[in-house]
A and B are shown apart, each in its own frame.
Chain A
Amino acid sequence: MFEEYTMSELTSIFAMQGFAGLILFSVLVLMALGLAIIFGQMGVINMAHGEFMILGAYITYLTSIVFSEHLPDLFSGYFFLAMILAFLGSFFLGAFVEWSMIRHLYKRPLDTLLATWGLSLILQQLYRTIFGAREVGVSIPDWMMGSYPITDLIEVPINGIFVMVLTLFISLGVYLIMFKSSLGKQTRAVVQNRDMAGAVGINTEKVDRYTYAIGCGIAGIAGSAFTMIGSTGPTAGQLYIVDTFLVVVFGGASNLLGTIASAFTISQAQSTLEFFLSGSMAKVLTLLTVVGILMLLPQGLFALKIRR
C-alpha cells in the first residue's frame, strides 16, 4: 500500500502516527488514573466514573460561559481555573457519594457496581434536566486549538501536547500522593489490611473518603481536558467506561504503574492497527488481544504476586 509514496512522506506519516498513539496513550491514562485509584486501590467498581468525568466537562463549560460574558480579557487562561474547579466539583460530589453510599458497601464490592450504575442513571438525567439533552459546545481558547507545523506534513496538534503535559503532571501528582504523602501510605495500608490499619490508629473512614474523592476529582480533570477532543453531553460519559475499566484491569488493577504500562500497550496497538485496518476492525482486534492476554495473564500485566 505504500508504493506510491516517497520515503520522506512515509517517515513523517509514521512520526505523526506515533504521535497520535502518544495522544491516545495520554487520554487513556487520564481516563484510567482516577479509576485505578478507586477500583484498583479500593476495590469499588465505579460505574459512574464516566459521569464524574462529564461533571468536569460541564463545569468547564460553565466556567467558559462566565469568563466569556464577564471576563473576556482573561478568556485565554480560563481553562486552568476550569480544571481546578472541575477537580473540586468532582471531589466534593465524590466525597458525598462515598459518605452516603459507598461506605456501606465496602464488604460487598460487586454491589458497588449496581449502586453506582443507579447513580450514573441519576446523574445522566440530572445533566439532561439542567443542561438540556443536546450537547453543549465548550469554546476553547484559540491558542489551545491550533497546530504547530514542524515540516510540511508533520503538524503537532497543540491540544495533544496539552493533554500529554497534563497527563504527566497528574501522573506525577498521583505518584506523590500515593507513595510519598501520609494519605497515600495510609490508603495503601488500608487496602492491604483494613483491620490492621485501623488497629494502628489510621482513621480508615477518613482515608476511604479522601481516596474515593481524589479518584473522582481526577476523573473531573480528565473530563475537563476532554472538552478539547470530545463531546460534552449527558450520555458522553458512557463512551469511556469500557475502555477505562479494560485499561485498569489489563494493567493489573492494584498497580498504578501497571495502569500506565497497559495504557501504553493498548494505545500503541490500537493506533498502529487503525492505520492498517478500518477503524471498527482495529478496535475489535485490540480488544481481542487484550482479552487474549488477560486469559494468559489473568492478573494483568503487573500483578502483585499473590498465590490464589
Chain B
Amino acid sequence: MSTISFRSLLSKNDIFGFVALVILIMILLPLMLDIFRLNLIGKYLTYAFVALGLVMCWGMGGILSLGQGVFFGMGGYCMAMFLKLEASSPEQTAIQSTPGIPDFMDWNQLTELPWFWLPYNSFGLTLISIILAPTAFAFIIGLAMFKRRVGGVYFAIITQAVAAILTILIIGQQGYTGGVNGITDLRTLHGWDIRTDAAKYILYYLNALLLFVCLFGAQIVRKSKLGRLLVAMREREDRVRFSGYDVANFKIFVFCLAAMFSAIGGAMFTLQVGFMSPSFVGIVPSIEMVIYCAVGGRLSIFGAVYGTLLVNWAKTSFSESFPELWLFAMGALFIGVVMAFPNGLAGVYSSYFHTYVERFFQMLKQQFYLKFLSHKTV
C-alpha cells in the first residue's frame, strides 16, 4: 500500500471533526459534569468503540454483524478475569473452603483454578489476550463465513446465533464463568483502587485517549486503498472480485478490526464499571449497539461516537424521568431515525449544518490570508 500523506489522510472536515470531538470529550464534558455523570459518559464511550467497529464493517464494508456484543464481552471478561484473580488472594478469600480462587468457583465446588484462568494472573498476558482472543475468534468466524461467501442477512443471523450460543455457555458453565451474575466486585488493578473518584477521572481520560487512537486507526484504514476497496466491495462485490481481488480477505480484516475495537471497549467497560456480565454478550445489547451506529450515521466514524452518546443519554434521561414509559420514546427514536434520517446524525449534519461550517472555515481562511498578505506587503 502506498504511503499516505497527511493531507490525504485528514481532510479539513476530518480535522474539524477530530478537534470538535476532542474539545467535547476531553474538555467540555469533564468541566460540565460531576464525576457520577462523567463516569456514565465514560461507560457510554466504551460502547462507542463497538459502534466505531460497526461503522468500519457495516457502513464501509457492508457486513452487518449482530454479534458485536460477543467481542465486547470477550474483552470485558478477559479484563474481569484478571481483576477477579487479584481480588481473590488467599487472604481476602480466607472464609472460603478453598481460599485463593474466585468466590463463585468456591460456591460451585471447584477446588482449583481452571487452566484457562491461569494466564490471567499476569497483566501482560491479560492485555495480549484482550486484543488477541476476540480478534482470533473473529478471524475464525470470518474465515469460515467469508471464504464461503456467506454475506448480508445470513451473516447477521449467524452472528446472532453465535451470540446466543456464547450467552447460554457462559450462563451454563457458572463454575468457570460466574454464570448469569457475571464477574462482580472488582476493586483494584495492581493494588490501585479503581473505584475512587480520582481513578474514575484517570480511567475516563485513558478511555477517551484509546477511543481517539482507534478513531485515528479507523481513519487511516478509511483513507487507504483498503478503505476504498471496502466501499467498492460494498457497492459491487462481484466487480471487485473480477478485478482480481480476494474479497474475503478484506472482509475478514475489517471484521477482525471491528472485533478488536469492541474488545478494547469491553475491557475499558470492566475497568470503569467494576463488573462484567453475560448480559453484554447477548443479542439485545448487540442489536442496541448497531442502533447506536445507525443513529450516529453508519458512514461516519465521528457519527458513531455522537450516536452512542445521544442514544445512551436519551435512554438514561428518559428512564429517569419516565421509568414506566421510556421504551415508547426509545422505540420512536429508532423508527424515526431509520425512516427520516437514514444516514443518522452525520447525514443531518452534512445536509443542514455542513455549509455553515464550511462558510465559517472560509471566513477563517480569508482572515488568515488577509493578515498574512498585509504582513508581507509591509
Contacts and interface: CB of A to CB of B under 8 A. Distances in A.
- Establish whether A and B are touching in the complex (CB under 8 Å): yes
B165 A284 contact: yes
Interface residues of A, number: 48
Contacts of A287: 161, 164-165, 168
A295 B144 contact: yes
B291 A288 contact: no
A278 B173 CA distance: 12
Interface in B313-357: 324-325, 327-328, 330-335, 337-339, 342
Given A43-B153, A242-B164, A122 B158 contact: no
A1 to B, nearest CB: 21
B287 A117 contact: yes
Contacts of B337: 114
Interface string A76-88: 0000000000000
A269 interface: no
B145 A118 contact: no
B160 A280 contact: no
B338 A114 contact: yes
Given A118-B330, A295-B144, A245 B160 contact: yes
Contact of A105 (B330, B332, B333, B338): B338
A104 B158 contact: no
A246 interface: yes
A125 B325 contact: yes
B229 interface: no
A294 B283 CA distance: 19
Interface string B125-156: 00000000000000000001100111111101
Contacts of B327: 121-122, 124-125
B168 to A, nearest CB: 5
B226 interface: no
A194 interface: no
B3 to A, nearest CB: 35
A119 interface: yes
A45 B153 CA distance: 8
Given A246-B157, A298-B154, A288 B330 contact: no
Task: Give the interface size class of chain B.
Answer: 35 or more
Contacts of B171: 280
A284 B172 contact: yes
Contacts of B332: 118, 122
Nearest to B335: A118
Most buried by A among B324, B327, B333: B327
A118 B331 contact: yes
Given A242-B160, A249-B154, A298-B148, A122 B328 contact: yes
A108 interface: yes
A288 to B, nearest CB: 6
A244 to B, nearest CB: 10
Contacts of B333: 118
A299 B291 CA distance: 27
B162 interface: yes
B149 A308 contact: yes
Contacts of A111: 294, 338, 342
A101 interface: yes
Contacts of A172: none
A117 B334 contact: yes
B158 A294 contact: yes
A298 B145 contact: yes
A79 to B, nearest CB: 31
Most buried by B among A47, A119, A122, A298: A298
Nearest to A290: B161
Most buried by B among A43, A118, A246, A253: A118
A284 B287 contact: no
A129 B323 CA distance: 12
Contact of B335 (A110, A119, A290, A299): A119
A294 B150 contact: yes
Contacts of B70: none
A308 B242 CA distance: 12
B290 interface: yes
Interface string B269-305: 0000000000000011001001100100000000000
A241 to B, nearest CB: 8
A294 B148 CA distance: 10
Contacts of B325: 125, 129
B339 A115 contact: yes
Contacts of A299: 154
A126 B160 CA distance: 26
A65 interface: no
Contacts of A115: 334-335, 338-339
Nearest to A291: B161
A288 B165 contact: yes
B28 interface: no
B153 A246 contact: no
A118 B337 CA distance: 10
Given A114-B290, A125-B327, A283 B149 contact: no
A281 interface: yes
A295 B150 contact: yes
B339 A253 contact: no
Contact of A121 (B148, B238, B331): B331
Contacts of B291: 114, 117
Interface string B158-197: 1011101100110110000000000000000000000000
A113 interface: yes
21 contacts: A105-B338, A110-B153, A111-B338, A114-B334, A118-B330, A118-B333, A118-B334, A119-B335, A122-B332, A125-B327, A125-B328, A126-B328, A129-B324, A242-B161, A253-B153, A280-B168, A281-B172, A287-B168, A290-B161, A291-B158, A291-B161
Shortest beta-carbon contacts, A-B, top 10: A118-B334, A122-B331, A121-B331, A280-B172, A125-B327, A298-B150, A118-B335, A118-B331, A115-B338, A295-B144
